[in-house]
Amino acid sequence: MPNLITYSPAYTLVPTYECFNRCTYCNFRKEPGQDEWLTLDRAEQILRPLQSQGVIEILILSGEVHPQHPRRSAWLQRIYDLCELALNLGFLPHTNAGILSFEEMARLKTVNVSMGLMLEQMTPTLLKTVHRHAPSKIPAVRQQQLEWAGELKIPFTTGLLLGIGETETDWIGTLETIAQIHDRYRHIQEVILQPHSPGQHQSWQGSAFAIETLPEVIQLARTLLPSDITLQIPPNLIPTPSPLIACLEAGAGDLGGIGPKDEVNPNYPHLHDASLAATLQQYGWQLIPRLPIYPQYDDWLAPDLKAQVRSWRDSLLQLPIGNGKAKALMG
């Protein structure tokens, strides 16, 4: 019987690349006012063809408009409208738009089945280096958002960015913070362990995270985090099958959203899911699709969202997986 590894068949919509943060390792952002926002008409043109291509999740991934900027409310409304459009076309939205207020999160909860925000690292020392010009990367501010997500009962994804100047002690501190928040609210469904992978647009000259170290970080995370949190790794940032399999054997359980482009790491394209599945199969692993919300959180959704999720779960159950454990993963 093969081992199981999940992924989300996904497509990423970017409302805007403009961002008031200036993280020196970033390959995503544009200067505020220098990007044309995604329109609803253009988004619909993108999404409609995806209805027949097996896409389930629409990741709404946005740069951040400053909380005090006059266009902040229009920015949030655009994100809300894109989520609503995705829902109306039959997809399941998941939003990661950086720091949000409690009220903004509560509003987006009504049009998302889950949301996310990377903690990255909890150490304040990075505010003197790679986060020197990134006000929303203050650790306490990001921790507060994880706590608000718990209070609002939003199924949540967070994670660590590895190799940006932190230490192993910092990994432990960040993982312990996540564990403590989850122990209180039980809302964190996934923790991403993302290795820094240099791109052509970043200003920081830091080297890539040593991939051979990633299984060690996974083992550490599996020790410190509750067992009901899934560990996620991005397969496009792991260059060859051998370290990828080592990561799975160390305790990683999910490969995240797989689509045509990794917007955060545009220099590292994803393998097509069929190609990735074939590679994994050679090593005794079976790749299976999942939804952007895990089954234990379905009851947190409003009735209309819950009905749409149930429809997708019923569709996945029709796939010829032939494995009771796989069906349990899908709900």
pLDDT at 329 (0 to 100)? 41
Structural domains present in the chain: 3-298 (3.20.20.70)
H-assigned helices in 135-272 = 139-151, 168-185, 214-224, 241-250
Nearest to 64 by CA among 15, 100, 98, 30: 98
Q: How confident is the model at residue 141 (pLDDT cuts 50, 70, 90)?
A: very high
If you average pLDDT over residues 39-64, what whole number do you get?
97
Q: Distance between CA 88 and CA 103 in Å, rounded?
A: 23
Q: How much is the mean pLDDT over the chain?
A: 94
Please check the confidence at residue 321 and state whether its pLDDT lies above 60. no
Q: Distance between CA 224 and CA 216 in Å, rounded?
A: 13
Q: Distance between CA 77 and CA 131 in Å, rounded?
A: 28
Please answer whether residues 54 and 101 qualify as being in contact, where contact means their C-beta atoms are separated by less than 8 angstroms.
no
Please check the confidence at residue 189 and state whether its pLDDT lies above 80. yes
Q: How confident is the model at residue 2 (pLDDT cuts 50, 70, 90)?
A: confident
pLDDT at 251 (0 to 100)? 98
Please check the confidence at residue 324 and state whether its pLDDT lies above 90. no
Please answer whether residues 154 and 115 qualify as being in contact, where contact means their C-beta atoms are separated by less than 8 angstroms.
yes
Nearest to 109 by CA among 69, 64, 148: 148
pLDDT digits (tens, 9 = 90+) for 213-272: 999 999 999 999 999 999 999 999 998 999 999 999 999 999 999 998 899 998 998 888
More confident residue, 168 or 326: 168
- Report the predicted TM-score, pTM, of the whole model to 2 decimal places: 0.94
Please check the confidence at residue 328 and state whether its pLDDT lies above 90. no
pLDDT at 319 (0 to 100)? 66
pLDDT at 327 (0 to 100)? 44
If you average pLDDT over residues 147-165, what whole number do you get?
98
Please check the confidence at residue 89 and state whether its pLDDT lies above 90. yes
